[in-house]
Amino acid sequence: MSSQKTPKNSSRLTKIRNENLVSRRTFFRLATAVGAVAAGAVPVLAQAKPKYATPTISCGGNTQTSISITVTAGASGAPAGFSLQWMTAADYAANGYNWYLSDDSRLCKASFSGNANLSRYNLSPNQSVTVNVGEFLFDNGASSNCIEALVCGTEYVFRAFAHADNKGNRSDFTANLTCSTLPCGHSNTCTLTQGYWKTHGPVPTGNNDYTWPQSVKNNGLTLGSVSYTPQQLLDIFNKPAAGNGLIALAHQLIAAKINIANGADTNIDAFGNITTYINQADALIGGLVIPPVGSGNLASSQTSTLTSMLSNYNEGSIGPGHCGV
């Protein structure tokens, strides 16, 4: 009777086992690996994460102190949100038509996280969202190192990228986009933004002075049916909206009332008079006490129209125009 030949690999494993050079567990691991190779199995390599598609950006509306930028996600979306960067066109040219490095404090950056609770920056494929640079609505997921108003009559260069997450790597930067604020120039009854009044309040920031009108310094303001001291008004200014429409509305309502107390014209041309919208805002707020003074809350859907109208007045796109300081 003919004898069977022992496979070469099997003989080698038996020899290793017989010479007690490996443990029983290691022996069986080796045997399994040899069997897999003999059967033609090929290890499966982990797939590298793809890049998210590059979003696009476009100029929206503008005022003397702000520029709206519309960000549109690419074909793969931007589920983790996006970041926006900007410089003045003059600084970009002076830097050899190059961007400042990411850790350079002169580079303005804003992050819009799609992972934050109730964020509006979790973008589906080809979905758009608009952000207002210079008058940011710091709602859920939004943060920036440059929260000041923009300079009137100035060109800015913007770029953006989609954030990475566990399903994809960050996208490439968009192409550069150049947008401008409105030209400087105003009447003697011009308006100033909520950002200006916040930094020129009872506790001025930097080298600023306390420039609120004397009537507001003496008496504060009434918002809805509740009266607030100047310090409480400043505390409200410094409270991020974080999705609370009442706070966002209060920021613009305080600024509008300070502007009027400072002598700003209330006529807003085809829109009538800004006092109509101020009265509507007061009626909507009623007896709610605005955070952080109280714990009042309104949905953004209830306040967005009035917030936008008052913001447009304070920023100068309607009414007498922005003071351009």
Q: How confident is the model at residue 160 (pLDDT cuts 50, 70, 90)?
A: very high
Furthest-apart CA atoms within the chain: distance in Å:
117
Spatial contact of 192 and 319, defined as CB atoms under 8 Å apart: no
Q: Both tokens of residue 30?
A: 């080796």
CA distance 166 to 254: 42
Provide, rounded to the nearest whole percent, the portion of the chain with pLDDT above 90: 64
Residue 324's pLDDT is 66
Q: Which residues pair with 143 in a beta bridge?
A: 111
Name residue, tokens 């504060």: 220
Q: Average pLDDT, stretch 34-49?
A: 56
Confidence of residue 21 (pLDDT cuts 50, 70, 90): very low
Structure tokens at 48: 């590298």
How far, in Å, are 29, 38, 103 from residue 12 at the CA level?
Answer: 14, 14, 59
Q: Which of 110-114, 131-135, 200-204 has the lowest mean pLDDT?
A: 131-135
Residue 265 pLDDT exceeds 50: yes
Arithmetic mean of pLDDT, 124-129: 96
**Residue 77 has what DSSP assignment?**
-
For residue 310, what pLDDT is reported?
96
Tell which wins on pLDDT, 315 or 231.
Answer: 231
Neighbour tally for 219: CB within 10 Å: 12
Model confidence at 24: pLDDT above 80: no
Confidence (pLDDT) at 188: 63
Give 89-104 pLDDT, tens digit per residue. 999 999 999 999 999 9
- Specify the higher pLDDT residue, 274 or 14: 274
Arithmetic mean of pLDDT, 302-311: 95
pLDDT at 16 over 90: no
* pLDDT tens-digit series, residues 188-231: 688 999 988 999 999 998 888 999 999 999 999 999 999 999 99
Model pLDDT, residue 269: 76
* Structural domains of the chain sorted by starting position, each given as residue range(s) with its CATH number in brackets: 12-38 (no CATH), 56-180 (2.60.40.10), 194-315 (no CATH)
Arithmetic mean of pLDDT, 41-51 = 67
The predicted model gives 29-46 an average pLDDT of: 50
What is the rounded average pLDDT of the residues 255-279? 92
Q: For residue 283, name the pLDDT band (cuts at 50, 70, 90).
A: very high
105 touches 83 (CB < 8 A): no
Which of 7-11, 244-248, 288-292 is predicted least confidently?
Answer: 7-11
d(CA 154, CA 183): 8
Please state, rounded to an integer, the average pLDDT across all residues of the chain: 86
Asked whether residue 178 carries a pLDDT value surpassing 80, the answer given is yes
State the average pLDDT over residues 18-42. 50
Tokens read off for 130 = 């608009």
pLDDT of residue 186: 57
pLDDT band for position 29 (cuts 50, 70, 90): low
